[in-house]
Structure 1
Amino acid sequence: MAQPLAEVLTRLRVGNQNFIINFYQQHREHFTHWADLNHQLPAAEAHELLRAVLLEFYDQVADGRLTKLPEDLRAHLYSMAYERIAAGKSAAVLPLAEAGRRQRLLVLFGYLGADCQKVLMYFYFRGYNFEKVAGKMGYANATVARLQKSSCLRTLYELVGRGPAPQASAAAPTDL
């Protein structure tokens, strides 16, 4: 890379995505070939996967989860892509009961308000601490974020306890 690594990280942290865009343009065809050769992914799916991995990488840098660029960035990003592919394949072999349970939880999750969905996603799936959640959500402090997460989780738990989820095709209310 022509730019010093520290400069790249600084630019990414302040929202400058030129490095990401340039990386995508320069490596798209090679990534597509790799994805086809190793995972039989069509070009359109490979392009989407590369975009998703680059966005995940950008989020990691912007959030401070990644504090220095890997020595071999391309290998790091390909590894992230491989993990996504592997996760997709392992999800396909879930036992039917577990797949049904997860689908039900996903439907019930849709019944939570947008703020509750964001809080739970930030905390459980992105691994943000309460201070980070508070900053992302505009809460006064980490304690407010913790209380909000607890309230949202309690609401989801109550929805689970009510019995079978409504049909997935039914429109979910925006908040409870």
Structure 2
Amino acid sequence: MNQPLAEALTHLRMGNQSFLITFYEEQRDHFARWARRQHQLEPAAAHELLRSVLVDFYDQVIDGRVTKLPPDLRNYLYGMAQEHIQAQKTTAELPKVEAGRRQQLLRVFTQLGTDCQQVLMYFYFRGYNFEKVAGKMGFANATVARLQKANCLRKLIELRARAIEEDGASAATV
């Protein structure tokens, strides 16, 4: 990884992922040892986590959330991995009712069209404003993005209401 960091960032923004591929190849074994010591992860799970973190980092660079590479990229990415693991543990510790509600919402979410899923993901999970959502989705302006988000959210709520009714009806027949 002897490529200057500023040059690597420029290449990443242009879609050249060779910097991340090289990082993955060089750090994969070290990361697996770290993940095993710190979080008792098997090597295959650690490798998948590292790939996921690198994809998230790449998305952050492309979206403009990362404007300069951190001085110690390895520590930065390991910190991102730590956050992923903490998020998984938090989700795993949810009460049964809340976990069931989230699973139902996820099933309903997958019934939405791809465009609706993407609009909602950009707005709620990535925190994009309507102008950025419009740019990402190819909408004419922020108002169109706002209307699309509202329409998609309405569809999600309707699908969830139907799912609740269906679950209630199936529970009553048992």
Please indicate, yes or no, whether the TM-score normalized by the shorter chain is above 0.5: yes
Question: d(CA) in 2 for partners of 1:65 and 1:160?
Answer: 32
Between Structure 1 and Structure 2, how many residues are aligned? 167
Say which structure, 1 or 2, has more relative contact order (CA 8 Å, 6+ apart).
1
Question: Alignment partner of 1:164: what SS?
Answer: helix
Tell me the equivalent position of 1:173: none
Alignment of 1:27-42 (within 5 A): 27-42=27-42
Tell me the equivalent position of 1:25: 25
Amino acid at match of 1:2: N
After superposition, the C-alpha distances for 1:112-164 in whole angstroms (9 at most, x for unaligned) are 11110111011111222222211221111121111100110111122233351
Question: Alignment partner of 2:111: what SS?
Answer: coil
Question: d(CA) in 2 for partners of 1:10 and 1:165?
Answer: 51
Is the 2:12–2:61 contact (alpha carbons within 8 Å) kept by the matching residues of 1? yes
Tell me the equivalent position of 1:159: 159
Amino acid at match of 2:83: E
Question: d(CA) in 2 for partners of 1:165 and 1:67?
Answer: 47
Q: Normalized against structure 1, the TM-score is what?
A: 0.89
Q: Normalized against structure 2, the TM-score is what?
A: 0.90
Question: d(CA) in 1 for partners of 2:149 and 2:81?
Answer: 30
Amino acid at match of 2:114: A
Q: Percent identity?
A: 66
After superposition, the C-alpha distances for 1:73-124 in whole angstroms (9 at most, x for unaligned) are 1000000001111111111110111111111111111221111011101111
Alignment of 1:99-110 (within 5 A): 99-110=99-110
User: Which stretch of structure 1 is more off in the superposition, 103-112 or 60-69?
Assistant: 103-112
Is the 2:108–2:163 contact (alpha carbons within 8 Å) kept by the matching residues of 1? no
Tell me the equivalent position of 1:5: 5
Is the 1:9–1:61 contact (alpha carbons within 8 Å) kept by the matching residues of 2? yes
Tell me the equivalent position of 1:77: 77
Change (3 A) 1:10 1:93: same
Tell me the equivalent position of 1:130: 130
Question: d(CA) in 2 for partners of 1:111 and 1:25?
Answer: 37
Amino acid at match of 1:160: R
Amino acid at match of 2:96: L
Point out where structure 2 has 5 or more consecutive residues left out of the alignment. Answer: 168-174
Q: Is 1:142 paired with 2:107? A: no
Question: d(CA) in 2 for partners of 1:166 and 1:156?
Answer: 15
Calculate the aligned-residue CA RMSD, in Å. Answer: 1.5
Tell me the equivalent position of 2:48: 48
Shift in Å, 1:2: 2.2
User: More helix by proportion, 1 or 2?
Assistant: 2
